[in-house]
Amino acid sequence: MKPKKMFKIAMLAFIILLCGSINHSFADDGYDLWLKYNKISDSQKLSEYQAAISSVVVMGDSPTCKVIKDELQKGLSGMLGKDISFSDSIEKDGTLAIYTLKELGDEEFIIKNLRVDDKDCIIIASGKDIGLLYGTFDLLRMMQTGKSLDNLNISSKPKIQIRVLNHWDNRNGSIERGYAGKSLWKWDELPDTVDSRYTDYARANASLGINGSVLNNVNSDAVFFTTEYLKKIAKLADVFRPYGIKVYLSIRYTLPSQMKTENGIGPLQTADPLDPTVIEWWKDKAQEIYKYIPDFGGFLVKANSEGQPGPQDYDKTHADGANLLADAIAPYGGIVMYRAFVYDPDVDPDRAKRAYMEFMPLDEQFKSNVLVQAKNGPVDFQPREPVQPLFGAMVHTPVMAELQVTQEYLGWSTHLVYLAPMWKEYLEFDTYAKGEGSTMAKVIDGSVHDNKLTGIAGVSNTGDDRNWCGHFFAQSNWFAYGRLAWDHELTAEEIAEDWIKMSITTDSDAINTIKTMMMGTWEACINYQEPLGLHHQMDNSHYGPGPQISRASRIDWTPAYYNKADENGIGFDRSSTGSDFTSQYFSPWKEIFDNIETCPDKYLLWFHHVAWDYKMKSGRTLWDELCVKYYEGTDYVEQMAKTWESMKDKVDPEIFDHVTAKLNQHVIDSAKWRDTCIQYFQGFSKMPIPESVKNN
């Protein structure tokens, strides 16, 4: 062969090899989340969309309208495979017209097919620009998920007003309960250098209807309230504003005794909420905050909890503490989100009762711009808890739900656990606060008690990892939280399907396979960690199993405190013969939970100490049932790994390899949970693992 020809062949081989390498290196790294806007692969659907939208009219020139234009340019050109023209008037069929309509609410939008000036159009209308942005994202999502653009007659508005992400981020860049790298906020660079990732974060949240961001840890640092940091925070607020996102700050209650205001007030000798000098200090600080951030959302407060200072340090109530702050920011339209995650510095006989005991007597004492923010369950974001009894019980004070998007107790960003089924179980729980139909969802959206102010919070799982969430599938939980915060009537299945289509694939077989896999992950996690109502069985890292741990600085931080395993049985007696936690619920739950025979299996060991040989509804003994559940959990994870392996040729190779590595560790971890717990509890039960379970 001639040298020249050999050179050409070698170069061709090199190019092919290089291209193969480039394709894999620049595969989907997860950065674009659910906003990929890949070209529509279905030719019939592509033709339909190209005919439906050939030009765009955005009537307005605000910063938000510019965002709308940019998003449509990116989304439509990407999905349709061609440039989209923008004009100032409706000139032809196939025009997408976007404009404000004062009859609609600020965030409410409509999407309709209409004849305008004898032209076939799709219109998006809202009372304000931010509603137009939400409508724009909704239309783009419809196209990403293959929905028809014929006969459109959509009307949508959020069921909950305040929809925030809580970032437990610290000044040094670390994140408490963060499993996806360091904080997004680069405080050392702000305000002079503004990372483009802030805009991408805002886009992602706006696409879901999230309208607020609490920037710092609930275990707050005073530095965030200095003038230097308020200027940094103001720069973030400038980036977020066109996307409808307000910034909020977590406060440390003793700020007045730690620092001066801009006008030189402080440090004071006290932070007593009824002291006139403290009242003046907070008014002065509020004035300074709003000078830099005119649309500042307000404060999140963790007080008298886990060592944090609060009004009780001065013999004042939580209402006194909240109202001090509420009065300071009320003139500017700010709100206070006051967390109900409290328990005594001294050990409570049953800390699950504490929030109800402390906040119920204060129900009529909070100012109108205060929300009590309660975790979904009464202890601490466990894989499964019964609903926090405060929901529905507080009549005059709005109670907002705090959900944890980051998986503190559910395998961090290593285990694949889709959380929408969990949140739906809570949201659909009927509190019976005003009789049947008083679901938790209707409590937090204000329907049950006619609350005028409503809210929901999600503890964020974002970090500076390239894919934002550490585990690619953890993106689905950010997505699901935002979708449910906007509309809690959506099902976990339809949210999962949308996310898969927007993030992974539009192949129908793959969609169904992955969706089915996702839907069982939460129950599997419960089974291999804490089945039948067990809870708080993790080690000190909150990751691995630790049922044997019985010593800590607080007894109620130990798994043994909650499992109460002994030779007679297992479980925490919260019935009327125990701690009487059951009395905090409305009937009929009070009676159902109180009776071991009627208590649902999934809550059994939460409410009762049960004998090892107790006969379950399945006909098995409690011990055998525990073993069955532990093995069902690990069996599911093992099968999930096999299911994912079958997706190798249907998903992006980088996503596939990333998830495969996570699942391999997930299989190992779930088996460790199962074996550690069974072995420990077997030391008390003295019963063998059923052969049918081991050999299955």
The predicted-structure confidence for 631-679, as pLDDT tens digits, reads as follows 999 999 999 999 999 999 999 999 999 999 999 999 999 999 999 999 9
Instruction: List the catalytic residue out of 42, 306, 364, 489.
Output: 306
Q: Where in the chain is the domain with CATH 3.20.20.80?
A: 162-488
Is residue 4's pLDDT more than 60? Answer: no
Burial of 446 (0-12, 13-18, 19+ CB in 10 A): middle
Q: Would you call 597 a catalytic residue per the annotation?
A: no
User: What is the pLDDT at residue 408?
Assistant: 98
**245-260 average pLDDT score:** 97
Instruction: List the catalytic residue out of 169, 284, 320, 380.
Output: 380
In this structure, which amino acid lies at residue 662? K
Q: How confident is the model at residue 480 (pLDDT cuts 50, 70, 90)?
A: very high
Is residue 24's pLDDT more than 70? Answer: no
- Classify domain 162-488 at the CATH class level: alpha beta
User: What is the pLDDT at residue 281?
Assistant: 98
Fold entry, domain 525-572+609-694: Alpha-d-glucuronidase, C-terminal Domain (3.90.1330)
Strands (E), 571-665: 610-611
Q: What is the residue-averaged pLDDT of the chain?
A: 95
- Choose among 164, 582, 205: nearest CA to 400: 164
Q: Where in the chain is the domain with CATH 3.30.379.10?
A: 43-156
Instruction: List the catalytic residue out of 350, 408, 445, 625.
Output: 408
CA distance readout (Å), 110 to 155, 162, 296: 4, 21, 28
- Choose among 518, 504, 491: nearest CA to 427: 491
Is residue 17's pLDDT more than 50? Answer: no
- Lowest mean pLDDT across 2-16, 215-229, 275-289: 2-16
Q: How confident is the model at residue 348 (pLDDT cuts 50, 70, 90)?
A: confident
CA distance readout (Å), 466 to 391, 462, 517, 617, 669: 37, 10, 25, 47, 24
Instruction: Identify the helix (H) or strand (E) that includes residue 559.
Output: helix 559-563
Backbone angles phi, psi at 336, to 5 degrees: -120, 125
Q: What is the per-residue pLDDT across 310-325, written as a single tens digit (0 to 9) for each?
A: 999 999 999 999 999 9
d(C-alpha 314, C-alpha 67), whole Å = 48
User: What is the pLDDT at residue 277?
Assistant: 98
Q: What is the per-residue pLDDT across 32-85, written as a single tens digit (0 to 9) for each?
A: 999 999 999 999 999 999 999 999 999 999 999 999 999 999 999 999 999 999
Burial of 289 (0-12, 13-18, 19+ CB in 10 A): buried
Is residue 213's pLDDT more than 90? Answer: yes
Q: How confident is the model at residue 14 (pLDDT cuts 50, 70, 90)?
A: very low
Q: Would you call 408 a catalytic residue per the annotation?
A: yes
* Spatial CB neighbours of 219, under 8 Å, sequence gap ≥ 6: 168, 176, 250, 302, 306, 308
Angle between helix axes 508-519 and 622-645 (nearest 10 degrees) is 160
**369-398 average pLDDT score:** 98
Burial of 507 (0-12, 13-18, 19+ CB in 10 A): middle
Q: How confident is the model at residue 9 (pLDDT cuts 50, 70, 90)?
A: very low
**481-510 average pLDDT score:** 98
User: What is the pLDDT at residue 3?
Assistant: 46
d(C-alpha 306, C-alpha 298), whole Å = 23
Is residue 198's pLDDT more than 60? Answer: yes
Q: What is the per-residue pLDDT across 88-124, written as a single tens digit (0 to 9) for each?
A: 999 999 999 999 999 999 999 999 999 999 999 999 9
Q: What is the per-residue pLDDT across 532-553, written as a single tens digit (0 to 9) for each?
A: 999 999 999 999 999 999 999 9
User: What is the pLDDT at residue 605?
Assistant: 98
Of all residues in the chain, what percent are helix, strand and coil, respectively (each to 5)? 45, 15, 45
**10-23 average pLDDT score:** 40
Is residue 5's pLDDT more than 70? Answer: no
Q: Give the pair of three-digit tokens for residue 202.
A: 């805002």
Decide: 215 and 248 in contact? Cβ < 8 Å.
yes
Q: Which residue has the higher pLDDT, 693 or 227?
A: 227
- Classify domain 43-156 at the CATH class level: alpha beta
- Choose among 417, 355, 432: nearest CA to 384: 417
**358-375 average pLDDT score:** 98
User: What is the pLDDT at residue 193?
Assistant: 98
Q: How confident is the model at residue 696 (pLDDT cuts 50, 70, 90)?
A: low
Instruction: Report the SS3 class of residue 96.
Output: strand
Q: How confident is the model at residue 7 (pLDDT cuts 50, 70, 90)?
A: very low
Q: Where in the chain is the domain with CATH 3.90.1330.10?
A: 525-572+609-694
User: What is the pLDDT at residue 239?
Assistant: 98
pTM: 0.96
Is residue 19's pLDDT more than 50? Answer: no
d(C-alpha 103, C-alpha 595), whole Å = 53
Q: Would you call 380 a catalytic residue per the annotation?
A: yes
User: What is the pLDDT at residue 150?
Assistant: 96
User: What is the pLDDT at residue 619?
Assistant: 97
Decide: 400 and 430 in contact? Cβ < 8 Å.
no
Q: What percent of the chain lies above the pLDDT cut of 70? A: 96
